């Protein structure tokens, strides 16, 4: 939320359909939502934004981060420590809220490696630093596999069976992976 401060002096302003005289100086601070903060960007740009934020954060932490070409399957960033003795691959998933829910596809159920990680980015307000959730790919694969299997077994709102879909969801319920850059072991 943004803040705006207005000062009124010796005039009348309208308040809920009534004129209210202001005899002497009056100062107030209003909290208001910025339209800029609420504006969503196209999902493709959100994804690219997330990748650049992750690369920037890795660089800020003293690591080497290279964003891959768009056609690299499941890998958005290759990150290496400063002496090049350890490298990891990173898949970025970005949402535009601060919710800890991200949509993936079924490929994530089988794409796991000891050196492959997901960095889930919650962009939130444009004026604030995004939140990063760093999760090993094996954790994501197990969570998504189990979650989807359970969803298929659970009846829908009207008691009907759920239809299988390629969409999957990852949730960091308790922010267990929030800012866990240490898991990369770079």
pLDDT band at 30 (very low <50, low <70, confident <90, very high): very low
List 81's β-bridge partners, or say none.
none
pLDDT at 33 over 90: no
Would you state the pLDDT for residue 71?
66
Would you state the pLDDT for residue 140?
98
Would you state the pLDDT for residue 70?
76
- Cβ partners under 8 Å of residue 56, min gap 6: 65
Average pLDDT over residues 132-151: 96
**Cβ–Cβ under 8 Å, residues 178 and 99:** no
Would you state the pLDDT for residue 26?
38
pLDDT at 35 over 60: no
Instruction: Give the domains, in start order, of the chain with CATH numbers.
Output: 2-32 (no CATH), 39-184 (3.40.1350.10)
Question: Per-residue pLDDT tens for 147-160?
Answer: 999 999 999 999 99
Question: Per-residue pLDDT tens for 74-101?
Answer: 899 999 999 999 999 999 999 999 999 9
Question: Per-residue pLDDT tens for 159-178?
Answer: 999 999 999 999 999 999 99
Judge if pTM exceeds 0.95. no
pLDDT at 109 over 50: yes
Q: How far is CA 184 from CA 142, 152, 159, 167, in A?
A: 18, 33, 43, 26
DSSP category for residue 180: -
**Cβ–Cβ under 8 Å, residues 87 and 78:** yes
Would you state the pLDDT for residue 38?
56
Would you state the pLDDT for residue 72?
79
Average pLDDT over residues 30-53: 74
Percent of the chain with pLDDT over 70: 78
List 118's β-bridge partners, or say none.
91, 135
Q: Which of 68, 74, 93, 89 lies closest to 172 in space, CA to CA?
A: 93
């Amino acid at each position: 939320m943004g803040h705006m401060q207005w000062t009124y002096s010796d005039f009348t302003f309208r308040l809920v359909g009534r004129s209210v005289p202001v005899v002497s100086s009056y100062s107030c601070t209003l909290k208001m939502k910025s339209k800029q903060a609420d504006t969503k960007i196209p999902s493709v740009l959100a994804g690219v934004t997330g990748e650049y934020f992750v690369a920037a954060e890795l660089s800020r932490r003293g690591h080497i981060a290279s964003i891959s070409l768009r056609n690299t399957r499941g890998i958005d960033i290759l990150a290496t420590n400063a002496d090049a003795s350890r490298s990891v691959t990173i898949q970025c998933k970005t949402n535009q809220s601060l919710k800890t829910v991200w949509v993936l596809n079924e490929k994530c159920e089988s794409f796991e490696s000891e050196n492959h990680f997901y960095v889930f980015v919650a962009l939130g307000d444009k004026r604030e630093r995004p939140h990063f959730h760093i999760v090993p790919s094996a954790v994501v694969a197990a969570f998504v596999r189990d979650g989807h299997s359970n969803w298929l077994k659970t009846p829908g709102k009207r008691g009907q069976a759920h239809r299988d879909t390629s969409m999957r969801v990852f949730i960091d319920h308790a922010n267990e992976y929030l800012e866990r850059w240490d898991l990369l072991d770079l």
